[in-house]
A = this chain, B = another copy of it.
Amino acid sequence: MPALTERQRLILALIVREYTETAQPVGSARLVEHYNLDLSTATIRNEMAVLTEIGFLRQPHTSAGRVPTEDGYRYFVTHVIYQADLPDAARHTISHQFHQARQDVEAWMPLAASILARQSHAASLVTAPHSQRARYKHLELISTQGRQVLMVLVITGGEVSQQLLTLAEPVAQERLSAAANILNNVCLGKTTEEIAALPMRNDALEKDILSLVLTDLNRGEQRASGEIFLDGLTNVLSEPEFLESGDARHAIRLFEERSLLQDLLARAMPDGVGGVQVLIGGEGKWEELRQCSVVLARYGIPDQASGMLGVFGPMRMAYSRTIPTVRFMADLLSNLVSETISGEENER
């Protein structure tokens, strides 16, 4: 990583800033004028030549201004604004909105996505907290029609999964409740393996249901993440990058194809809760993201319940705003999750 002078860093930062705002290549004259620099355009041009030499800037063509390269953005993100903090005003607004929705668990994730999208003026994604090692928490069996039963299974971290089962023969609600009660007593707080290791049930109904519970738990553990919430796609649609090159528009498919998105999340953030990850221009790994950037973070409690959240937009993204926002939101959701589930550990 080449060392830059203070002034070069400044110029790089200003070019990034100007370009993210205008989406136009920025020339030396505009820079001086717009930011009242105490330098002549010629000096700026010399510095820009250096930055271009290093590979942080490029010219779309001979007589255009400069545009940051992927490396340029990367340097900017890691060396210039990575530690930037979210303004207090924004922190307060966000906290406030969450406080309002405190009671409504179902609203948390969509709210988080909506806030992220609004703050970053880009598309956002949030996955519900999800555990790779699920623990049984509560089972409920509700009879609907004669042979059909709705099974509601609550897992660690408040995850709820529903299944419809068709029994061999009709069973009364009382009988179902009793069976659920027994299983609840036996399985509370146990992991999939622990439940699988339990002695076989004698009762046929209980046996059947327990095996369904197990497949359900297993399926949950297979999934890489919980439900995915998206927002702000329209923000990104009106960006020039997406209007012109069909290339960038291609990237949006990634958001609709959940499987692609899962793959992205899995490969981008293998590690536990931690810092914010910034993928610029697909990092050579995702062809679809060539013109885009993604800012990701994991939240929650490792191994218990964790999810991801992030922002997706053109490479020309307001990183200095987006990164602190993502970091702040990750912390906020982490607190929310740990408040909600920490009791479980004590119960055991």
Residues of chain A whose beta carbon lies under 8 Å from any beta carbon of chain B: 102-106, 137-138, 140, 142-146, 148, 150, 152, 154, 158, 160-165, 231-234, 237-238, 243, 246, 249, 252-253, 256, 339-344, 346-347
Contacts and interface: CB of A to CB of B under 8 A. Distances in A.
A148 B172 CA distance: 33
A104 B216 CA distance: 10
B148 A142 contact: no
A103 B163 contact: yes
Given A234-B252, A237-B249, A152 B145 contact: no
B161 A106 contact: yes
Given A148-B339, A233-B233, A140 B142 contact: no
B256 A164 contact: no
Contacts of A161: 106
Nearest to A341: B144
Nearest to A184: B177
Contacts of A340: 144-145, 148, 150, 164
Chain A interface, >50% SS class: mixed
A164 B232 contact: no
Contacts of A162: 105-106, 158, 160
A114 to B, nearest CB: 10
Contacts of A138: 140, 142
A344 B137 contact: no
A158 B161 CA distance: 12
A348 B106 CA distance: 30
Contact of A143 (B232, B238, B343): B343
Contacts of A160: 152, 160, 162
Contacts of A143: 343, 347
Given A105-B162, A231-B256, 11 more contacts: A104-B164, A106-B162, A137-B142, A140-B154, A143-B343, A143-B347, A145-B339, A158-B162, A233-B233, A237-B237, A243-B243
Contacts of A137: 142
Contacts of A243: 243
